[in-house]
Structure 1
Amino acid sequence: MCLAIPGQILSTAGDDLDRTGRVSFGGVVKEVSLAYVPQAEVGDYVVVHVGFAISQLDLHEAEQTLHYLEQMQMGEKAGGE
């Protein structure tokens, strides 16, 4: 099973295939490759898998996905108590 997580781009650097960005995943910030999403800019949401942004999400899709992930996490916590 593969897992890709949405995150928001905080900053970008470089060009073309060397383009990277600092992406926030709910407060955890990671450096990821933006080579596959050349149109993505600061403030945009991207789906990241193993260090590569593989697609761009609009705000509604990103918020919905983050909400589902949050619900799953709450369910795990409730099930473990």
Structure 2
Amino acid sequence: MGSIGSSADNAAAESFNAAFKRETLEGRKAWPYELEARLEAFRWLTRHNTRRRLSRLGQRSPVAYESALRPTATTLTQAA
């Protein structure tokens, strides 16, 4: 991430928002109910995080990329 106020600071969020709008709003004017809009957003986010392959992650989904990382120790070793 860039420093606060730089163009790099917002680039990832803007790209994410553009993809979300393009893939969920294209050709749609409104949803009949708020619940349907929320479900559509949830479906898109689930697909984005579990099935969508990203070039930046070596053509893996975010979930697959994170699960491939080596687990790190979460506990501290005891002092002697």
TM range (shorter): 0.3 to 0.5
- TM (norm. structure 2) is 0.33
- TM (norm. structure 1) is 0.32
Instruction: Tell me which protein shows more helix as a share of its residues.
Output: 2
Instruction: Tell me which protein shows more strand as a share of its residues.
Output: 1
With a CA cutoff of 8 Å and minimum separation of 6, indicate the structure with the bigger relative contact order. 1
